[in-house]
Amino acid sequence: MARKKKRGNGQGTVAPRRNKAGKIIGFVGAFFGPDGKRHWVSAKTKTECWRKLNMAMADADRGTLPGPANLTVEQYLTSWLADSVKGTVSRATYDSYKRDVYHHIIPELGRRKLKELTPGDIRRLYRKMADKGLKDRSIEYVHTTLRKSLKAAVVDRLINYNPTDGVRPIKTPTGAAKESKALAPYQVKVLLEEAAESRFEALA
């Protein structure tokens, strides 16, 4: 299939959407418009997604851009993994982010519109994870993934603020004594990135 990817406003990408079991349930396409913002399309098949993407990029060339108002958390995170994470971090780090996104975040928050995501939604996600018996460390990993991905959404001007600000992972009474364990490599990297901006921000 011929793919018309390169245009004046950048190069588009298409990535699969997967359910919790890892089965492909559709595709999402993304590209950066001349306004510097990332824009999305979605479809059930890869061919249809490329068709929609090429049409959207053509519209962008004509000055007609699709808005992100209806962009869901699932669509955004799928594109974030494909465009911003894959190829920029180690395979182990990428797999960690991917696991958090598909096993925990999308099943609970995927249908929410990105612009409507609130700190309360995120707190409820952590509470459900704790109620299912997941360890504190697993919740902290998801928090790190959410914080980093939504920080990128702020940079891309898709949302005005990061809803993870001020939200802390739930700590169960039995898990409090385990907090001295070493962080995962990708968490150390994110922690250092945060600390470079504010010596207090990394504690959030």
pLDDT digits (tens, 9 = 90+) for 46-82: 998 898 888 888 877 766 555 567 788 988 898 899 8
pLDDT of residue 41: 85
pTM of the model: 0.61
Rg (CA), the chain: 18
Cα(180)–Cα(190) distance, rounded to whole angstroms? 18
Cα(60)–Cα(12) distance, rounded to whole angstroms? 12
Q: Give the domains, in start order, of the chain with CATH numbers.
A: 6-61 (no CATH), 73-203 (1.10.150.130)
Cα(155)–Cα(94) distance, rounded to whole angstroms? 20
Cα(4)–Cα(8) distance, rounded to whole angstroms? 12
pLDDT one-digit tens code per residue, 78-92 = 889 988 898 899 999
